[in-house]
Amino acid sequence: MKNIQDNFIAGIGNTPLIKLRKASELTGCNIYGKAEYLNAGGSVKDRAALALIRDAEEKKLVSKGGTIVEGTAGNTGIGLCHIGNSLGYKTIIVMNDNQTQEKKDTLINIGAELRLVPPKPYKDDGNYVKIAGRLAEELKNTNNKGVVWANQFDNTANAKGHYKTTGPEIWNQTEGKVDGFVCSSGTGGTIAGVSSYLKEKNKDIKVYLSDPKGSSLYNYIENGELKSEGGSITEGIGSSRITANFAEAKIDGAFSIDDHESLPILYDLITNEGLSLGTSCGVNIAGAIRLAKKLGTGKTIVTILCDKSDRYQSKLFNKKFLIEKKLPYPKWL
C-alpha cells in the first residue's frame, strides 16, 4: 500500500504548489500558490496549531486529558480542535462574534467549546486574545493534565513551525529557484518562518507583505508607522500591532490591497481555473501579481492559498451584502 497516513496529524504539511495560470500569463512570471487548504483541517493554520501544541507538550505544560485555550479568527481554532481531538485534548475557543457563521458552525460541529465576544481593539482588556489568555490562567487549577493558552500571536513556536516545514517545502518544490515570496499576515507566523528560512538559503529572495486595507502593517513596513486606512471584508489577516512572530519576519517591502482588487481575482479563479479560495487568498495573489510586475518577467513567485471559500460563503457569495459594501460580486449571482 502507498500514500497511507497513520492519523490526522500526518495529513498536515507537504502540500503541493499549484501554478496560477492567469496571474502567470498576466505577468510573464511563474506564480505558484501553495495549496494549504489541502492540510487535513483545511487551512494553513493547521501548521501553526500543530507547532503550538507540540511546543506545549515539549514544555510539559499539557498532557492527554488537558485543555487548549485560544483566541482566534477561526482557522487556528479549527486546527487546534481537530488536532486536540486526535491527541485527547479539550479545546476552548474565544472568537469575535462578527466572524462568519460558517467558521462558528464548524467549531461547534467538531466539538470545540466556543465563546463569542464583541470585537474590541487589542489595547482593550475585552479583546478576544486577552480574554483567552485570562481564561486559560483562570482554568489552570481545574485540570491536573494542564491548561495551556496557545497564544498563536506571540508564541514564536508558530513561526518555528513554518521555518521547519513550509519554508523547506517551498525551497525543495522550486528546486531553490524561487525569486520572491508574498504573504499576508495575521499572527505573522507564516511570513516570519518562511522568510527566515528562504533568506537563509538565498538572501536575494524578495519577501513582500500583502496587506488588506484596514490593517496597519503596510504602513509600518513602508513608513515605520502603525497606521491604518480603509477596511476589508477579509478575515484572519491584518493587524494593528507588531506581534512577536511578525517581529521575526524578514520583509523587503509591502503592498496594500483593496477588496476591489482581490475579490475579482477570487471570482475569476472559480470560473477559469477551478479554484474556489478564501478571502485572504485574493489578497495574497494580488500581492504576488504586483511583486511579479516589480521583479520583471521570467521570475518564480510563491504565495499561500490559505483556505477555501466555503468558510466565507455568507460574505463572498452574498450579493446583497456585497452591493451594500459597494464591492464586486460574482457575475453568476
Report pTM: 0.97
45-149 under CATH 3.40.50.300, yes or no: no
Do 9-39+166-321 and 45-149 fold alike per CATH? yes
pLDDT the model gives residue 2: 80
Of 249, 263, 261, which Cα lies nearest the Cα of 208?
A: 249
Q: Where are the domains of the chain?
A: 9-39+166-321, 45-149
pLDDT in tens, 222-280: 999 999 999 999 999 999 999 999 999 999 999 999 999 999 999 999 999 999 999 99
Which residues are annotated as catalytic?
A: 45
Residue pLDDT, tens place only, 13-70? 999 999 999 999 999 999 999 999 999 999 999 999 999 999 999 999 999 999 999 9
- Over the Cα atoms of the chain, what is R_g? 19
Q: State the Cα–Cα distance between residues 301 and 250, nearest whole angstrom.
A: 16
Distance CA 278, CA 288 (A): 16
The DSSP code sequence of 58-123 is: HTTS--TT-EEEEE-SSHHHHHHHHHHHHHT-EEEEEEETTS-HHHHHHHHHTT-EEEEE----TT
> Is a pLDDT exceeding 80 seen at residue 1?
no
CATH of 9-39+166-321, one of 3.40.50.1100, 3.40.190.150, 1.10.1040.10, 3.40.640.10: 3.40.50.1100
Sign of the dihedral defined by the CA atoms of residues 296, 188, 50, 60, in that order: positive
**pLDDT at 187 > cutoff 80:** yes
Whether residue 4 has pLDDT greater than 90: no
Look up cell 466565507; give the residue: 312
Question: Which single residue is written with the C-alpha cell 468558510?
Answer: 311
